[in-house]
Each structure stands twice: as structure tokens, then as C-alpha cells.
Structure 1
Amino acid sequence: MAWSDKSHPHRLLLTKQFPLGLEVLPVFQPVMLAANRIWNSCAWHSRETFGQENRWPTEAELKAKFKSFAAWRELHSQSAQAVVEEYFEAVSAYRKHRENGHLEMSPPGFKPKGHLRTVTWKRQGFDVEGNTLVLKLSRKKNPIRCALPEGWNVVTLPDGTEVRGVPVEVKVKAVVRRRRVENLVLHVTLDLGVVPVCRAGAVSAYDYNSALVARAVSNGRLDLFVCRELLSLVQYRNKIIAGFQEKMSRLKEGSRRWKRCLSAKVRVLKRLDRRIRQMEHTLTKSFAGLDEAEDVAFAVVGNLRGLRCSARTGMKGKKASQKINQMAYDRLRQEQHYKNLMRGIETDTWTERNTSSTCCLCGARNPAWRRHRGLWVCGECGLVLQADLNGAANLLKQYLFGGCADRELPFALREARVWRWDGKLNRFVQVSPRAA
């Protein structure tokens, strides 16, 4: 996984994974169990404070409370603080959901005693000695040494250049399947610095939808990505969740049958999540590949902030609201952002105001011209186009000229290319353009 740091929009952070094997489990197990005890202590103290004083303790209060505990002395000070920060973040998310009306949410609870919790080492908690990572513990304990392969901190960009990253964070996670620890994985986050971006070139605009993603480029190129397979996987995942919840509601919570049902639910959902994430990564990789091949310097993504709130107010139908609220638009934007950044392309978000009700060719505006099933038929110039492609072209005009209404398109539109998921090849392939 990679992302751009908030401190600089062009700073690239990349996380690489290294399997450690089960032979190092006796070394990391005491540390991970100590982190789990800190988590459970935070959960216990928070519930007691809320029951007695009707408030949740602050992050600083939790850190000061458990600083003298024996489990705290097992870890590096910043690693122990990271556990408290993760718990406080979970409590903040829970409180925000409750404030938004989701009263069915429960506060973060206790973990089993034998749970191997992920341990985080921040920049001051580890050292690098050649190809060896030295993970610090408390002052009176010897550090843990992890041997890494040659070139572990070297990243090859798509253009073939090699960049040497600086490690800024380390995490050790346990891979558990069916209550068995199968492996330990070391996650090292590397800082690749500020990536230079191209300041001159074409501009592309992306209009995200639940089942379609439209792309328009300033050279007249149009692309339509049909993502119905991705949408069907998300809907199937919701159906699986509903089925398991119905079964578990008839069982006694905590019983053996309830636990077996919960284990099966987690196992099935993890498999579906891997398929969904793989399809999302392939989709955003296709976006970045097309931008790189067509010498695009700027990629514009529609700003969908507030879309889900408007969908909940009844502005859209029941099916449309469900599709809008279950697609991971922000995750797609982040994945496209860092993939473009690795290719020297700058990504920005822009408002989509009036883009779906304006003709991209002549600039006339009438919401009624958007027909059934995403068909756009302009009543002024007679343009017939897929509605999402019309919205992507208007988003491009909006970014270039500051508005899309009452302004003609300065370039001619080419025939749209249509891309669809191929299950055999596990990628998006170009198909017949009839859908556009």
C-alpha cells in the first residue's frame, strides 16, 4: 500500500511487506501479548469512567494511567503509546457514529487473552544497521533484530528508476486463520520523499459512479469503465452479512455455535474483501496507465463530499442511495492518487456542480435532458452521449475554465472506448463501444 503524506501533497509513502516465519513467534509473542493487555486495560478503564462520570477519558489520561503498568514496560515507550492512540481513535469513531444517529454501534471491546495484537514501532523506536532492522523494547530489554533481504528499501518506479526510501514506521502483524497463527508479517513504511510531477501536459477528468467510471481527456479522448462486477461483489458481500446476522440473531451470544458462525462469517468476508480490493487496485492502475500513456500532467477527480448525506435525505431513490453509500469512492481516489504520483502525475479534486445537468458540447443546461439509464440527449445541439461521459467532460471544462455552463467545448470529442472486467485475465479489457 502507498499513499501521499498530508504534510506535502507530493510526498510518497510506500509500505512493503516481509514475511518473518513462525520461527520468530516466541520472540514477538510476549510483546504482542503485552500490547493486547494495554488495549484491554484501556477498554476496562474507559467503561468504568463512563459508567461513573458519564464521560470518556482523554488520550493523555489513558497514557498517564497505564504508564506504570508492567505491560507498558514490556514495550518501547512509543509502541505502548501507539496502542493507546489506536484505542482512542476507535472510541472517537464510535462516539461520532453515535452522534450521527447510529445507536446500534458498540464501543471497542475486550480482546481474548491470547490475542496477538499488532505492535507499532515509530521512527524513534527502531534502528537500521545495513540489512538488519533493530526493533527497540524497554530500556532493560535487548532489542529484536530482523534480517531483511538485499534491496529491501529500494523501490522501482514504473519508469524503471530506482528510489531508496527511508523507513519511518514498522509494524508486526500476525496472520491468523481459523484460530491458528500461520505467519508473522513485517510491514515497513518507507518515505520516498517529494516526487517531482510534470507541470505541462494534458488534463484528464474522472467521474466516479456506482457501476461506471467515466474518463475525459483534454485531447478529446473518452473512456468508460463498466464496474458492474465490482458493484455485484459489494452487493453480494452485503447479502452475506445479512444472512450471517440472521443466523446469529437466533443463537445465544457467546455459545459455541455462535462462535463457529462468527468465525465462518469473518472467513467468508475476508475472502470477498480480497477480491474487491484486487479489483479496485486493478481499476485505479488502469487509470494511471492510461494517463501515463497519453502524457497527462493533471488528473481531476470529482469531489463527492456531501454526496452520501444528500442521498440519505431522500433526494435519490432507495436503490440509488444504497449503491452510493456502499461504494468506496474515497479509497479509489486515494489509490489513484498515489499511483499517479509514482508516474509523476498530479491529482486534484474539483467540484461537480451542474456537471450532470449541462451539455458538454454546447453548454446549455437542463436537468430533464438526462434520460433513463444514463442517456444524455441535448435539446439544443442534439448531442447523444452516455450521461457519465457527459459529466466527465463537464468536469474537465469546470477545471479548465472555472465553469461548464454557457461554454462550448473547445475540442472535438472522439469515439468513446469501453472497458470491462475480464474474469479470466483479471483485468479490464477494451470491448465494443456500443455502451457509450
Structure 2
Amino acid sequence: MAWSSASHPDRLLLTRQFPIGPDRLPEFEPIMQAANRIWNSCVWHSREIREKENRWPNEGELKAKFKFFKVWKELHSQSAQAVVEEYFEAVSGYRKHRENGHEDMRPPDFKPKKHLRTVTWKKQGFDVRPDGLGLKRSRGKDPVSVPLPAGWNVIVLPDGRSVTGTPVEVKVKAIVRRRKVENLILHVTFDFGVVPVRPEAGPVAAYDYNAAMLARATSAGVLDLFVGRELLAQIQYRNKVLAEFQAKLSRLREGSRRRRRLQAAKGRVLEKLDRRIRHMEHALTKALAELDRKEGIAVAVLGDLTGLRRSAGTGKKGKKANQKINQMAYDRLGSQQGYKNLMRGIRTIFLPEKYTSSTCYACGHHHPASRRRRGHWECERCGFSLQADLNGAGNLLKRRLTGDRIDLPAPVPVRVIRHWRWDRRHNRFVHVSSRAGA
């Protein structure tokens, strides 16, 4: 599932997946290969323009050039345009990385001729039917009918209410393993409208994301520390496995049979590790959202970490801290917590984290050296002692409650500190003693 607030901060957009089955491949294969040929045409024309004119062609230029091609007529017009838009999104990412100093990045390249590219149908590219969807093609071609199970457009919110969504985007993706299509997956994005949320004057919870810890502070004086070392260990193990595969691949000849087999094995192993990491991330954000719901939280405050990785790469932080910052998916965690909160009627906002880690929550004194080693905070002025991430979450809460004045004394005293750890047996975060959470 995914969450977006492009049109309204309280609008709920969710994506659900429906397996179609590999037996539908003969219907979708020509459509997906046509999308792949449009992608390759974009790559070819962009290279030609760069060689002749030393510039990148714009999006409208490519759409105007290819709209009369035969392959363009295989798809619905908006589906064909979506391929060009995806190509330019990849080009923008490549150029941004190059501007940030990543000289090893390469521009989007050609795909194999028989590559099954994911095809997108926008709102005018499909019909909603009583039993499913009708995916349109170009004029004169029959749409592809996809039957779906009963209740395919209905979700049940945590409070028990059923909400019917309106499909706004459809994607068909092929799951290929060992050169064989194992399944076709239909991704449908639903618009469930603006969800009613609690008044902003209610209780507040603030969150401080860290690589190995996640801290929570509420306006009731309750502090929660989620120990994320298991998640961090999984990410580090994935990086180690990836490095081992890359070292082996570097010694093999390009295009050889052994290299292709090793590439396939690399994909299978990394996919399994990625699923494990995503599960832990969803379990963490669900536990946070459930805590907010049970405690009646109205507003969840997350730190705005825009530019964090860029500042870490300038040498302001050490090598280990830089590595931890770059391997944690802060944006994905924030998005997951945002839509889970919205399903429970809780609004999510982002506030800057500037000076929250170097200011005392109790007295408001700013002194970076008060953050001791191993994540311990001890104020030099008032002697207030606390885990450093909890101190940062408290300052983020103070920023919300006092109108951006973290130099003031604490508006809420610390009453309770709880610790949470990952339980391997039940695959979820559980409440543990302070000694077990250390």
C-alpha cells in the first residue's frame, strides 16, 4: 500500500495488489513489449540528441515524435505517455545524482527486446465494471477485461468502518524468476476521499527517527523508545550480501553464462531480504499508529529530514554515522506511518529537527557537547539525564506545543518511559523492561 497527500493532506490513497495469473500472459505480452519498445525509442532518441546538440530532449518533444509511430498505437494514449514520463523520471534521477557528485551513475539504458515492462493505465484508460476492470487499448482494439473478487474496491478501517474507493490508476507488472513469468500482478490505486481526522487541539505525539532507535514523546509525558537494532542488522546484512555478489560479478566476463546465473541468484537473495526488511518496517509503523490510536493522539509530529544525507556526505559526521544515515529509509517510514495514521483519524505533520538533538528538553539550554557517547544526554546546566533520542523527540514535541520555541523549559514533565524490542518469535515489537531494552 502507498500513501499520498498531493491534493489534500487528509486524502487517503491506497494501492492494492491482485494476482492475475500467468495464464493471462498472451493477452498482456504484446502490450508490455510495446511499452518496452517505446522506452527503448526514448533511450535511442535521447542519445542521438545528446551527440548532435549536447542536450537532453524534453518530455513534450519525445511524446510529439513517437505519437505517430506504429508501436504507440498498441497502447492507450495515456499508457504510452506514461512510459515517456517514467523515462524522464529516471533521467531526472540520473542527472540529480551526477550533480551531487556520483560520477559512477549511468543514464537509463536499453532493455532487452522481450522485456515485459510494467504498463500504467491512468484514470481515463480503464472502465470500472461490476465484476472488475476493463483496460483500454488504442482505438479499434478491444479492451482487456480483468475480473476481480467481490469487495475489491472496499477496505475496512481500524475502527470497523467500510469505505469504498474510486480507482485512479492501474498497473500490470510481471513477476519473472529464472526467465519464466511466474505471475502477473495488478496494482490498483484507490482514492478513498478525505478521511475525517481528530481536532488538532487534541493530544500530540512526536517522533525522532534514528538508525538504531526510534523515540516517541507525547503531550501526556509518556516516552517510548523502540529499539531498532534488528532492523538495522538486517539492512547491514543485506549490504554485506550485495557487496559479496558484486565482488564475484566483477571477476566474470560480461554476458557469460556464469554471470547471468549469478545475477539471477543475486536477485532472488536480495528480494527475500528486502521482503524481510519491509515487513519489519510495516510492523514498526503499525505499532506506532496503534499506540497513537489507543492513546487518543490527534496530531503526530515527524521530523523533516530533507537534506540529511547531503549534510552527512559533507564530512560533518563520522564514517559510521554517515553509513547508518544513508542506509535507513526515513522517507518510506514516514510515508507508511502517515497513511496508517490517516486510516485511524490522526493527522501527520512534519516539523524541522534543527537543534532538537543539541538542546536540553528540561531547561532549553543549547549545548551540543551534552550529548555523550552511546546516545546519552546529560545537560551541563541542569543535570537532566535522558536517552539522547528521547531528548530529541521531546524537543520536537516542545516545538509543536510552544510554537517553535525549543529554548523554553519543558511544557510537559517526563512521567513514564517505556521500551519496545523486536520479538523474533511473533515478528512484532513488544513492550519489554528497561533492562531488556538497553
TM-score band w.r.t. shorter chain: over 0.9
Alpha-carbon displacement from aligned partner over 1:251-279 (angstroms, at most 9, x marks no partner) = 11122122112111111111111111111
3-state DSSP class of the match of 1:61? helix
3-state DSSP class of the match of 1:198? coil
Greater Cα offset, 163-172 or 48-57:
48-57
Q: Could you say which residue in structure 1 is the equivalent of 2:328?
A: 327
Q: Could you say which residue in structure 2 is the equivalent of 1:286?
A: 287
Aligned residues: 436
Task: Trace 1:180-219 onto structure 2 (pairs within 5 A).
Answer: 180-199=180-199, 200-219=201-220
Greater Cα offset, 212-221 or 271-280:
271-280
Alpha-carbon displacement from aligned partner over 1:109-166 (angstroms, at most 9, x marks no partner) = 1111111111111111111121231111111111111111111111111110001101
Q: 1:54 & 1:403 partners in 2: Cα distance?
A: 48
Q: 1:188 & 1:8 partners in 2: Cα distance?
A: 20
Q: Could you say which residue in structure 2 is the equivalent of 1:135?
A: 135
Deviation at 1:382, TM superposition (A): 2.4
Q: What TM-score results when the alignment is normalised by the length of structure 2?
A: 0.97
Q: Could you say which residue in structure 2 is the equivalent of 1:170?
A: 170
Q: Could you say which residue in structure 1 is the equivalent of 2:121?
A: 121
3-state DSSP class of the match of 2:270? helix
Identity of aligned residues (%): 67
Task: Trace 1:247-266 onto structure 2 (pairs within 5 A).
Answer: 247-266=248-267
1:26 alignment partner AA = P
Q: 1:299 & 1:241 partners in 2: Cα distance?
A: 35
Q: 1:132 & 1:389 partners in 2: Cα distance?
A: 48
Quick check: 1:50 aligned with 2:28?
no
Structure 1: runs of 5 or more not aligned: none
Q: Could you say which residue in structure 2 is the equivalent of 1:220?
A: 221
Q: Is the contact between residue 154 and residue 164 of structure 1 (CA under 8 Å) also seen in structure 2?
A: yes
Alpha-carbon displacement from aligned partner over 1:320-354 (angstroms, at most 9, x marks no partner) = 01111111111111111111011110101111222
Alpha-carbon displacement from aligned partner over 1:207-242 (angstroms, at most 9, x marks no partner) = 011110000000011000011111111111111221
Q: Could you say which residue in structure 1 is the equivalent of 2:103?
A: 103
Deviation at 1:418, TM superposition (A): 0.7
Q: Is the contact between residue 365 and residue 405 of structure 1 (CA under 8 Å) also seen in structure 2?
A: no
2:168 alignment partner AA = V
1:279 alignment partner AA = M
3-state DSSP class of the match of 2:316? coil
Q: 2:99 & 2:312 partners in 1: Cα distance?
A: 19
Q: Could you say which residue in structure 2 is the equivalent of 1:33?
A: 33
Q: Is the contact between residue 21 and residue 183 of structure 1 (CA under 8 Å) also seen in structure 2?
A: yes
1:129 alignment partner AA = R
3-state DSSP class of the match of 2:360? coil
Deviation at 1:405, TM superposition (A): 4.2
Q: Is the contact between residue 375 and residue 388 of structure 2 (CA under 8 Å) also seen in structure 1?
A: yes
Q: Could you say which residue in structure 1 is the equivalent of 2:355?
A: 354
Q: 1:44 & 1:4 partners in 2: Cα distance?
A: 33
Task: Trace 1:305-324 onto structure 2 (pairs within 5 A).
Answer: 305-324=306-325
Q: Is the contact between residue 202 and residue 295 of structure 1 (CA under 8 Å) also seen in structure 2?
A: yes
Alpha-carbon displacement from aligned partner over 1:67-92 (angstroms, at most 9, x marks no partner) = 12111111111111111111111111
Q: Could you say which residue in structure 2 is the equivalent of 1:76?
A: 76
Q: What TM-score results when the alignment is normalised by the length of structure 1?
A: 0.97
Query: Structure 1 residue runs of 4+, over 6 Å off?
Result: none
Deviation at 1:16, TM superposition (A): 1.1
Q: Is the contact between residue 355 and residue 391 of structure 1 (CA under 8 Å) also seen in structure 2?
A: yes
3-state DSSP class of the match of 2:255? coil
Deviation at 1:406, TM superposition (A): 4.0
Q: Is the contact between residue 215 and residue 390 of structure 2 (CA under 8 Å) also seen in structure 1?
A: yes
2:27 alignment partner AA = V
Q: Could you say which residue in structure 2 is the equivalent of 1:397?
A: 398
Q: Is the contact between residue 358 and residue 404 of structure 1 (CA under 8 Å) also seen in structure 2?
A: no
3-state DSSP class of the match of 1:155? strand
Greater Cα offset, 46-55 or 385-394:
46-55
Q: Is the contact between residue 288 and residue 336 of structure 1 (CA under 8 Å) also seen in structure 2?
A: yes
Structure 2: runs of 5 or more not aligned: none
Q: 2:245 & 2:89 partners in 1: Cα distance?
A: 28
Q: 1:146 & 1:238 partners in 2: Cα distance?
A: 39
Deviation at 1:404, TM superposition (A): 4.7
Alpha-carbon displacement from aligned partner over 1:16-59 (angstroms, at most 9, x marks no partner) = 11111122111111111111111111111111221222212111
Q: 1:11 & 1:133 partners in 2: Cα distance?
A: 23
